[in-house]
A = this chain, B = another copy of it.
Amino acid sequence: MKYVYFFGAGKAEGNGQMKEVLGGKGAGLAEMTRIGLPVPAGFTISTEACDFYFKHERKFPKELAAQVKANLAHLEKVTKKKLGDAKDPLLVSVRSGSARSMPGMMETILNLGLNSRSVEGLAQRTGNQRFAYDAYRRFVQMYSSVVIGLPKDELEEKLRTLKNRLKVKDDTQIPADGLMQLVADYREYFKQKTGKAFPEDPHEQLWGAIGAVFESWMGEKAVTYRRVEKITGLLGTAVNVVQMVFGNTGDNSGTGVCFTRDPSTGEKDFFGDFLINAQGEDVVAGIRTPMQLSEMAKRMPKVYKQLEGVRQKLERHYRDMQDLEFTVEDGKLYMLQTRTGKRSPAATFRIAMDMANEGLITREEAIQRIQADDVERLFYPVIAPSTKRDDLAKRKIATGVNAVPGAASGKAIFTAHEAEEWASRGEKVILVRRETSPEDVGGMHVAQGILTATGGKTSHAAVVARGWGKCCIVGCEALDIDYPKKQMHVGGRAISQGDWLTLDGSEGIVYAGQIELARPEPPKAYSIVMGWADKIRRLRVRTNADTPFDSRKAREMGAEGIGLCRTEHMFFKDFEQPEKSIERQLAIQEMIIADTREARQRALDKLLPFQRSDFIGIFEAMDGLPVTIRLIDPPLHEFVPHEKAQQEELAKKIGVPVETVIRRVEQLHEANPMLGHRGCRLAITYPEILEMQVRAIIEAAIECQKRGVKVFPEIMHPLTMAKKELKILGEATRRVADSIIAQHKVKLHYLVGTMIELPRAALLADQIAEVAEFFSFGTNDLTQTTMGLSRDDAGRFLPEYVDEKKAGIFAGDPFQTLDQDGVGMLIEWAIQRGRKTRPNLKVGICGEHGGDAPSVKFCHRAGMDYVSASPFRVPISRLAAAQAVLEEKAAGKKARR
């Protein structure tokens, strides 16, 4: 079994396709070597070795030792240096790198190979003793904390004590002998803590580092990150052992991070940060504020020109925007990493469109480059355009680096841990930190926005937040944060924990207080790429909307009709005339409290005009498009008050004794309301409710038709479990509808169908299709019943089921992404059986899953006609539907090959 892959001197055993085995970094290094870019030599230990390690009680595969030995020898030959050499020692970096980028989540050890002998060799060769001992103290510090697990703080404390003693402020001001003393202190501390001397043998150092990198794959940070990012199915991390190059050998050296296009806007600008005389981690850590590439072009014109050439070569080679790391050592450029660059949602669209227009990729590829999250984040809020300028000016307290666009309002919280706590209580928070580190990922994820005092656009905070499309301002140096007091001072104000802040990530401005936010207008590239997607997809995309307002919004988002209009929402609120809401509530409550059919009918007569006018508004908003209306679904107890005071009020208002109300509310109590008297079961026991609702729908449709509006009503019965049940309801529906149509002497085409949301209905779909003109899968309830899982209660244990570190039974929350194995099997069966009975059966989905990309793709494959999503998820579904076609095509090609 081959576990180690060499690269260097223009040749590489691996290549850019081998991400799964070599990790992103290893594959990039191999590929860059192959295409002739300047890359320091090294080798990559594969992710398969990591996989073996965790599957065999943390033992390395037995072949590994020999393979590492051989590759190390080869590396020494290529570099003409020897590890641990007393004159010109080979130094290496040992870095993690998995198939999916997990920035900062795993470990790195630099300058490995230094010991009390080779440090002198390094000093001799570079003629710079201070540099050599600085490298050595960094190595000892890193090795002690990362490999051995000694506390970082105590090591840092020793550095701080030294600086105090020497009365210097910056690390760079410590002279060589001070660093020597620091190394001695570290080694003493190491011995005291571990009982062993700090390893002198570079091979021992190397194996320690390899193990530490593997271990970091299962570290808490990394596991959390994978869970948050839903990264699964990877083997582990690779380990890259690469000859060290130094950006910190003087002013002709430096280190940088850059993007081949602007990751915020997507414009075709070369974009990056460069730090003179610095080592790689310094840029990412955001401790010093770097210069931009344009500045570097002036300072190092030759190297910059070479870098510009690398940029073009890599973009053409990879056909995508790249995120590069490089080091300049004494005027010589070394490429240390290339990977596909993370970018803002707007940039994602812009780059995809531009590259398609440039002919670098096809339009189909452009569509496949967009992820559901990009679409979602594109509509993340901005400061409402209606906000007054002078109000904004008064509230402005600071300006920083606009790392991730968008706006966010929330309460200022100063630790990641507390941010998670506040967010779990439903509070909106802004996480404010001097800088962020991988430990903060949890708190960053739940925050509305992130604000840091230090760092540039490639700092940890910026990179992580950008990946999520989460509003982020970094390098806001005006912040004076006092962690123990949970407070900060900025612009003459004190902001305490819990005070509101608003961030404008696009401009990099921090405001005090809560400012109204609004959804942004999407960029032009969005409309163009979505247009390409619309031409390709087969699935129609409808929306779940209950009001004329939502209907109009959804239409703007590209909805092609309504797939689910929940009529019961109208019982609670008059969306057009909110002051009339109370009348509606009273009528529905009166209907429920009624104990005779006649009393019920009187209350229903009051509701009829409300429902009719709601439907008129919705039909008008959806002129020319189908509207699926679901008849009343929830159990009646949801409509009545459960508090004594409100019950008394209701009793007074509808003129019955309070005992009647109380008794009725008690009668309505159910042990398991989810499986109780709801859905079409209500229409079976109270046919008069069905009659009122059908009447409202049909009268509204006729009224609209008269006004020239094209209406296509589809009446939907929820929770059907048997053919005969739906037959009874379908007949009742048609009886009411047809008599109204006949009475008005008009023609009106409407459909009668059912939700499929119980396993029994799916199983017996062939029978049910005899009496249904359409099926709409209610996958929320179908998931609940198929898995025996109450969405309201699963919070107690579902997290353990999804947590990879605990039981890890499911890859994700089945209420977010459809359980294709179980629920999906039922859906496929039902569609097949249903269409066997009725070949032109219309089939859609209207659960939350209709707006989830993987689920939409499943719906495409299952042969549905449409999906229905909430208005802001409509574009996600449109895109996923197009991608499903392309994936199908690709799979077809693969199968034909």
Which positions in A face B, CB cutoff 8 Å? Answer: 670-677, 679, 681, 684-685, 719, 721-722, 724-725, 728, 757-760, 763-764, 781, 784-790, 792-794, 796-797, 800-801, 807-810, 819, 821-823, 825-826
Contacts and interface: CB of A to CB of B under 8 A. Distances in A.
A667 to B, nearest CB: 8
A620 to B, nearest CB: 35
Given A677-B793, A677-B796, A728-B809, A758 B786 contact: yes
Contacts of A781: 788
A801 B684 contact: yes
Given A675-B672, A790-B676, A763 B825 contact: yes
Contact of A674 (B672, B685, B797): B672
13 contacts: A671-B674, A672-B673, A672-B675, A675-B784, A675-B793, A676-B793, A684-B801, A684-B809, A724-B807, A725-B809, A758-B786, A759-B822, A785-B786
A793 B787 CA distance: 20
A257 B809 CA distance: 69
B801 A785 contact: no
Contact of A787 (B684, B760, B800): B760
Pick the most buried of A675, A784, A807: most chain B CB atoms within 10 A of its CB: A675
Given A684-B807, A800-B685, A671 B671 contact: no
Contacts of A760: 786-788, 819, 822-823
B759 A792 contact: no
A722 B821 CA distance: 10
A562 to B, nearest CB: 24
A721 B673 CA distance: 22
List of 9 A-B pairs having minimum Cβ-Cβ separation, nearest first: A675-B790, A760-B822, A672-B790, A676-B793, A671-B792, A759-B759, A758-B788, A672-B674, A670-B793
A796 B759 contact: no
Contacts of A822: 721, 759-760, 763-764
A725 B806 CA distance: 11
Given A670-B793, A674-B674, A722-B809, 9 more contacts: A671-B673, A675-B675, A675-B793, A684-B801, A724-B807, A757-B788, A759-B759, A763-B786, A785-B786
A674 B787 CA distance: 12
Contacts of A787: 721, 758-760
A760 B677 CA distance: 23
Given A672-B790, A758-B788, A759-B822, A681 B725 contact: no
A136 B791 CA distance: 72
A579 to B, nearest CB: 32
B809 A671 contact: no
Given A786-B758, A786-B759, A672 B792 contact: yes
Nearest to A784: B675
Contact of A721 (B675, B722, B788, B792): B788
Contacts of A674: 671-672, 674-675, 788, 790
A837 to B, nearest CB: 15
Contacts of A825: 763-764
A801 to B, nearest CB: 7
A681 B797 contact: yes
A825 to B, nearest CB: 5
B763 A673 contact: no
Contacts of A793: 670-673, 675-677
Contacts of A763: 786, 821-822, 825-826
Pick the most buried of A681, A781, A784: most chain B CB atoms within 10 A of its CB: A681
A823 B722 CA distance: 12
B796 A676 contact: yes
Given A671-B792, A787-B760, A677 B725 contact: no
A670 B764 contact: no
A794 B635 CA distance: 12
Nearest to A783: B760
Given A670-B793, A671-B673, A724 B684 contact: no
B670 A790 contact: yes
A660 B128 CA distance: 67
A810 B671 contact: no
A787 B722 CA distance: 9
Contacts of A757: 788
A796 B672 CA distance: 13
Contacts of A685: 796-797, 800
Given A790-B671, A792-B672, A826-B759, A764 B677 contact: no
Given A763-B826, A786-B759, A788-B758, A684 B722 contact: no
A784 B801 CA distance: 23
Pick the most buried of A676, A759, A809, A822: most chain B CB atoms within 10 A of its CB: A759
Contacts of A719: 788
Nearest to A767: B821
A252 B57 CA distance: 103
Pick the most buried of A725, A760, A825: most chain B CB atoms within 10 A of its CB: A760
Nearest to A759: B759
A893 B634 CA distance: 51
A344 B788 CA distance: 44
A781 B789 CA distance: 12
A354 B801 CA distance: 61
Contact of A725 (B725, B801, B826): B801
A728 B788 contact: no
Contact of A807 (B677, B725, B808, B809): B725
A828 to B, nearest CB: 11
A294 to B, nearest CB: 53
A862 to B, nearest CB: 15
A855 B790 CA distance: 29
A788 B788 contact: no
A256 B724 CA distance: 46
Contacts of A823: 760
A159 B809 CA distance: 81
A671 B635 CA distance: 13
A724 B808 contact: yes
Nearest to A635: B793
A792 B676 CA distance: 8
A794 B684 CA distance: 13
Pick the most buried of A757, A763, A819, A823: most chain B CB atoms within 10 A of its CB: A763
A684 B764 contact: no
